[in-house]
Structure 1
Amino acid sequence: MCKRIRLRFLIFISISSLISCQINTNEDSSESPSSSSNDSTKTEVLLIGTFHFSNFDPSNNIDIIQTNEVDVLTKKNQKELELICNKIAEFGPSKIFVEYPFSRQTELDSIYEHFVPGDFELKERDEGDQLSFRVAKQLKHKRIFGCDYKDSSFPNSSMIKSMETSNQQDLIALDEIKDKQWESEYNAIVNKDQSLLDVLYFLNSEQERKIDRAWYLNFANKAGSVKDTIGTFLASEWSRRNLHIYSKIQKQVTDKDEKIMILLGSSHIAILKDFIDYNPNWKTVELKDLLEKN
């Protein structure tokens, strides 16, 4: 969580100048940062936090928490994907940002250039093919924008070892219990209807985003002894990675972009939502609101 602090040091020759300046300062402070731009002129940012579609095959799943995943290639989920993509196309983002390394944009350009829409049930289980490429081609976009940043660390195993050394078994056990509860809840949603939409709604709920953000603040940051900083390092590295992602997006959005779309893993979206909330010129749009809009 960041705070902006402005320090203004003004020296005036006369008392009248000082009073005049004070009046102006008070007038300026009556406006909140968000009031600098009307809602109607703000860039609309469609946020979609997702699981990685290819994790349907457990051998592809490198996430710390292992869960069951829906198969996006079923006829039911293909219909849902078609609905999602059509609604996003109606929304009309001028730029689409995806979880692909910014440093490999040329490679992404080549993949997208050779992507041919067709029978998506025969394509790979990948959110690129199945969602972002499908929408971009429908909107005749010339490019999809990679914004991921990989030059960061996530020393989870070392952090757990440090916690064990520091006799934080109770904290570790509590976290494991919470993980099991979350896995159970998530798997229940998957197993109930095998619906892609149900999973996306769950991952993009404010409650789930809060749980995700809280893990870094209340578990990782608390890890280890007082003198041990590995948990704080892990939490700060996650924030740093996402700050870089946000920066890549900010620097590629212009005043001409009235609407954009960001498709990333749900943990990335959880923290990006906080960043964007402090942007006076942007406002977020949720997938559920878009789909339920008449």
Structure 2
Amino acid sequence: MKQFFLVLLSFAFATTGFAKSKKGDILLLGTLHFDNPGADMAKVKTFDVMTPKVQAELEKMTQKISIFHPDKIFVEWAWNEQVGLDELYKAYLGGQYEQYVTTKYAKNQRDFYLKSEIIQLAFRAGKKTKLARIHALDYRKISLPFDSVMNAMKAANQTALMQKVQDAISELETSQNKKIEKLTLTQLLLDTNTKEELAFNKSLYIDILNRAGKTDNFAGAFLVSEWYRRNLYMYSLVQKNMTPPDGKALVLVGSGHAAMMKEFIESDQQFRLKELKDVLK
């Protein structure tokens, strides 16, 4: 009993010291995809990131991020394909990036390597901040059986819930497409990262999909747990790669990931959430 008490006491001292240690700052930047592959449930219009107006916005935005000066930048690239990301970033730093992409990739692949937010935003910010590497954090070994979830709803006669799914997707498409037509890129990103937008994104999983199926069918909860698992694994890579003396990070991910990451950062005693609006003001 005495030994058990001492273990508890030492743990209490350790966690107290841990909580008092200086917190780092994570700038969480949820984004729509600059080169939209159309893989999401909601079909959102794309826009031309290469226009002079948008390029000027990206220059200004990444200059503000460089003043924030992240020690590390994390992007939505498969974590076990870091070598490929390193090769791309090396070419970008070398100043011959467009020629490198044109030479290496087929015409139907080039848009991603030229227009993606990873290149246009993260690489640009990394170069301005003089970072030697951009870090991959995506984890993709999961299952998201959306068709099984909808079948579970159908089998459970959850007609209203099925309609709620369609209404949510339709609302998301309509809302985002209107914003893309009217707002600048900077305004779009600021809107995407509001508490309300992130909460709405997460509610699609918790409020709707998690309810799917009869009481003995957990297809909905399984899909939601897989989505959480993917994002939790991704966040663990941020935690494991942010080591002293690192104090600041930029995490650039799709808005769906950002909705989950926000929850993780706010629960992490080692980091504070830095909002985009505060960096760009």
User: Normalising by structure 1, what TM-score?
Assistant: 0.82
1:236 Cα deviation after fit: 0.3
Is the Cα contact below 8 Å between 2:75 and 2:122 reproduced in 1?
yes
Q: For residues 218 and 188 of structure 1, what CA distance do their matches in structure 2 show? A: 25
Aligned to 2:62: 85
Match of 1:251 in 2: 240
Matched residue SS, 1:44: strand
Partner of 2:101: none
User: 206, 228, 247: which is aligned to 2:195?
Assistant: 206
Contact 2:25 2:247 in 1 (8 A): yes
- What is aligned with 1:8? none
Q: Deviations over 1:45-89 (max 9, x none)?
A: 11100111101xxxx211110012332111111111111100001
Q: How many angstroms apart in 1 are the aligned matches of 2:95 and 2:69? A: 18
Task: Give the 3 Å change call, closer, same or farther, for CA 243–260 of structure 1 in structure 2.
Answer: same
Report the structure, 1 or 2, having the larger helix content.
2
1:44 paired residue number: 25
- Pick which of 152-161 and 68-77 moved more: 68-77
- 1:226 has 2:230 as partner: no
* 1:164-188: CA deviation from partner (whole Å, max 9, x where unpaired): 1221121111221222222222222
Equivalenced residue count is 262
- Post-superposition shift, 1:287? 1.1
Instruction: After TM superposition, list the pairs within 5 Å mapping 1:1-294 onto structure 2.
Output: 11=1, 36-37=19-20, 41-55=22-36, 60-115=37-92, 116-117=94-95, 124-193=114-183, 195-292=184-281
Q: Where does structure 1 differ by over 2 angstroms across 4 or more consecutive aligned residues?
A: 32-38, 116-120
Cα-to-partner distance string for 1:136-190 (whole Å, 9 max, x where unaligned): 1122211110011111011111211221122112111122122222222222211
Q: Secondary structure at the match of 2:114?
A: coil
**2-side partners of 1:265 and 1:200: how far apart?**
11
In the TM superposition, residue 12 of structure 1 has moved relative to its aligned partner by 5.2
The whole-number CA distance in structure 2 between the counterparts of 1:190 and 1:91 is: 27
State the identity as a percent.
34
Q: For residues 251 and 169 of structure 1, do their structure 2 counterparts lie closer, same or farther at Cα, with a shift above 3 Å needed?
A: same
- Aligned AA (1:207): E
Asked which structure has the greater CA Rg, the reply is: 1
Equivalent residue of 1:46, what SS? strand
**Structure 1 counterpart of 2:103:** none
How many angstroms apart in 2 are the aligned matches of 1:33 and 1:269?
29
What corresponds to 1:4 in structure 2?
none
Q: Is the 8 A contact 1:117 1:134 kept in 2?
A: no
Q: Distance in 2 between matches of 1:127 and 1:183?
A: 20
The answer on whether the counterparts of 1:34 and 1:279 sit within 8 Å (CA) in structure 2 is no
CA deviation string 1:119-144 (max 9, x = no partner): 99x98211122011111112221111
Q: How far apart in 2 are the matches of 1:173 and 1:154?
A: 20
Residue 115 of structure 2 aligns to a residue whose secondary structure is coil
- In 1, the alpha carbon distance for the partners of 2:141 and 2:55 equals 35
| TM-score of the superposed pair, with normalisation by structure 2 | 0.86
CA distance in 2, matches of 1:133, 1:207: 28
8 Å CA contact retained: 2:210, 2:221: yes
Specify the SS of the correspondent of 1:219: helix
1:220-240: per-residue Cα shift (whole Å, max 9, x none)? 110111111111110000011
